[in-house]
Structure 1
Amino acid sequence: MSADASSGTDDRLSGIRYAGIGDEAAPDLAGQLEALRRLGWRTIELRTVDGTAIADLDDRAFARLSAGLDAAGIDVVCVDSRIANWARPITGRFEDDLDELRILARRCAALGTRYVRVMSYPNAGLSEAEWGRRAIRRMTTLVHEAERHGLVLLHENCSGWAGTRADRMLDLLQRIDSPALRLLFDIGNGVPYGYDAHALLDAVIGHVAHVHVKDARARAGGQVDYTLPGEGESGVRECLTALLQHGYTGAWSIEPHTHLRPHDDHNTTDEEGVAAFVRYGRSLERLVQREVTADNGGARA
């Protein structure tokens, strides 16, 4: 499998590389690959297979995963870790994150990707100042470990100290000051976390190396409905347009949240998940063709 910078190009729109988080389509690899086959895409983002995180697969299961991807001609653009995520607060065991990163260093080499998705630790009763100090200290250690293995940690605008604020993301990048730390921008996270995604993107766009395409609409009681791209309140069209205008060349990876939502264990049947994933991908393709490239003077990305 090739490295992250050269895979998954959609032939109809040269330069735009579509991908998807596989377990959003199906828990098993066969279902994940079937969804990509129907879309005609060749790039996947890995989070879990058969409900197991990539770092937790035993060696035999990981060998089957790697062989299956090779046989299907599918490239891996990123591995989504649990490092510093919503389930690992700042007061939790740091060794769990270091252990996961070391395992993923070996597995990413086999999968042909350098990118590992991380967050920056939810708080657990600490003061804002102490939370920030500990988060930066932990992230610095993780980035140095990533440097040793040739990995790039992609910090997502999600849970954690720097998850929802551009000033903290920029502070984190400046303090650590390493090419092994970049940003993953999830367009749909602004709605559930209560911030303007497009405004945040404008502030950090030069540091974005990977993008999740997700859309959502807020409803009464603080609940969120996830929608097809362009049908919600996340500003998908505006964000994708801004990325193209800035010269972004990474992948656009769909995370529909219609089949699997890690936060609330929402699931459907496998076939429903595959069909919903394909419908979401087709909707994104249409949005790009009809609106996003039109916003760029009709030029191809």
Structure 2
Amino acid sequence: MPDQENPPAGGAAARCAGIGDEAAQDLEGQLGALRALGWHSIELRSIGGTALADLTPQQVHVLADRLRRAGVRAVCLDSRIGNWARPVTTPFDTDLAELDALLAQCELLGCRYVRVMSYPNDGLPPGEWEATVLRRLARLARRAEAAGVTLLHENCAGWAGDDAARMLRLLNEVDSPALRLLFDTGNGVAHGYDAAALLHDILPHVAHVHVKDARRTPHGAAYVLPGDGEARVTDCLRTLLDAGYRGAFSLEPHLAVQPHAGLRADTDAAHLFVAAGQRLAHLLTRLQQPAPAPGAP
């Protein structure tokens, strides 16, 4: 497994992070949820309902100062590049501008990961869709590499979102140390594939992990506490730990917040986030306990 720069070590709390806006829209609420869990790592997606790349430089300086004073580090910045709202026909300049903004933020925040996806199709022939995705991500990765930042492709929306062979082809074609994979435990339930099986195929290339769980319903995915659904979260965590994964386990519970569905944090979001975080920490603690010696009572 790849080593993350300055990877977390120690107990479950040291391995855990959370996507802050799943707990609250405002930064103080996001930090409060982390404090309640005893965590010191955050994944940033939006502040006050504003996407990171749309923050002003002054707002980013305030954010960086507040994180420093709280003793919290940013482990990943979540972009909108290639996501469910930006199909392959989106002007590429939009994504280049977003990446440039986030690369500047990475420098200020001491963060080295930016989450991306691989562009849902929007009427292009399959071959043209593939070629456009590969060309765009190669350009983005070169730009990130020059800044010392790594792009993390998530198993979510886009050309390589649910297909291990395509993910591996993407990595091979782009051929850059600045492109790795982000594995989300729960996306398979939402998108109709076996994420635990996919993990086995991409395992050596996983540099960051999102944790969520869900059950399938006639109306789509119903999100639940980690371990209570059909995503085989415990199996995925065990697979990662057994393989020597050293990065963060970043909570994205979707219990109150689902950006793709237009659901934002409400008064219950922090409570649900903390409950999901406690469950994640419990699962990790249990998995990291040494096995009993043979013959032990």
Q: Distance in 1 between matches of 2:247 and 2:271?
A: 25
Equivalence map 1:48-59=2 (5 Å): 48-59=46-57
C-alpha distance in 2, partners of 1:147/1:274? 35
Give the structure 2 partner of residue 281 of structure 1: 277
What is the Cα deviation at residue 268 of structure 1? 4.8
Q: Which residue of 2 aligns with 1:254?
A: 251
- The aligned length equals 290
The superposition leaves residues 11-54 of structure 1 with CA deviations (integer Å, 9 ceiling, x where unpaired) of 5448x610000000000000000000010000000000001111
User: Residue 262 of structure 1: CA displacement?
Assistant: 0.5
Q: Structure 1 residues 190, 30: CA separation in 2 closer, same or farther (over 3 Å shift)? A: same
Query: 1:220: which partner in 2?
Result: 218
2:288 partner amino acid: T
Residue 64 of structure 1: how far off its partner (Å)? 1.4
What is the match of residue 95 of structure 1?
93
Shift of 1:178: 0.9
* Structure 2 unpaired stretches of 5+: none
Whole-Å separation in 2 of the counterparts to 1:267 and 1:45: 16
Aligned to 2:16: 18
Please say if residues 210 and 251 of structure 2, whose CA atoms lie closer than 8 Å, have aligned partners that are also in contact. yes
The answer on 1:183 being equivalent to 2:181 is yes
Match of 2:210, SS?
strand
Among 122, 137, 140, which residue is 2:138 paired with?
140
- Superposed CA deviations along residues 119-147 of structure 1, whole A, max 9, x for unmatched, are 00000011211110110011111111111
Q: Does 1:204 align with 2:198?
A: no
* CA apart distance, 1:5: 3.2
Q: Equivalent residue for 2:163?
A: 165
> Within 5 A, what are the aligned runs for 1:24-39?
24-39=22-37
How large is the Cα RMSD of the aligned pairs?
1.6
- What is the rounded CA distance, in whole Å, between the counterparts of 1:214 and 1:133 in structure 2? 31
CA gap 1:140/1:7 in 2 versus in 1, 3 angstroms: closer
With over 3 angstroms needed to count, the CA separation of the structure-2 counterparts of 1:162 and 1:33, relative to structure 1, is same
- Secondary structure of the 1:150 match is coil
Aligned 8 A contact 2:21 2:265 in 1:
no
Structure 2 partner of 1:239: 236
CA positional deviation for 1:246 = 0.7
Query: SS where residue 137 of structure 2 aligns?
Result: helix
One-letter amino acid of the counterpart of residue 271, structure 2: A
Give the aligned residue type for 1:232: G
Where do 5+ consecutive residues of structure 1 fail to align?
none
Distance 1:226 1:187, change over 3 A: same
Match of 1:85 in 2: 83
- Asked if 2 retains the 8 angstrom alpha-carbon contact of 1:7 and 1:43, the reply is no
Q: Relative to structure 1, is the Cα distance of residues 92 and 183 closer, same or farther in structure 2, using a 3 angstrom cutoff?
A: same
CA contact (8 A) 1:7 1:42 kept: no
Aligned-partner residue type, residue 70 of structure 2: A
In 2, Cα distance between the equivalents of 1:176 and 1:162? 13
Matched position secondary structure for 2:208: strand
Deviation, structure 1 residue 286 = 1.4
Normalising by structure 2, we get a TM-score of: 0.94
Letter in 2 for 1:286: H
Normalized against structure 1, the TM-score is what?
0.93
Distance 1:144 1:188, change over 3 A: same
Letter in 1 for 2:108: A
Verify: 1:297 aligned to 2:295, yes or no.
no
Distance, in Å, in 1 between the alignment partners of 2:265 and 2:31 is 17
Q: Deviations over 1:162-187 (max 9, x none)?
A: 01000000000011111100000000
**Counterpart of 1:5?**
5
Q: Is the 8 A contact 1:8 1:19 kept in 2?
A: no
1:113 & 1:286 partners in 2: Cα distance? 27
Q: CA deviation at 1:154?
A: 0.1
Distance 2:183 2:223 in 1: 17
Structure 1 segments of 4 or more deviating over 6 A?
none
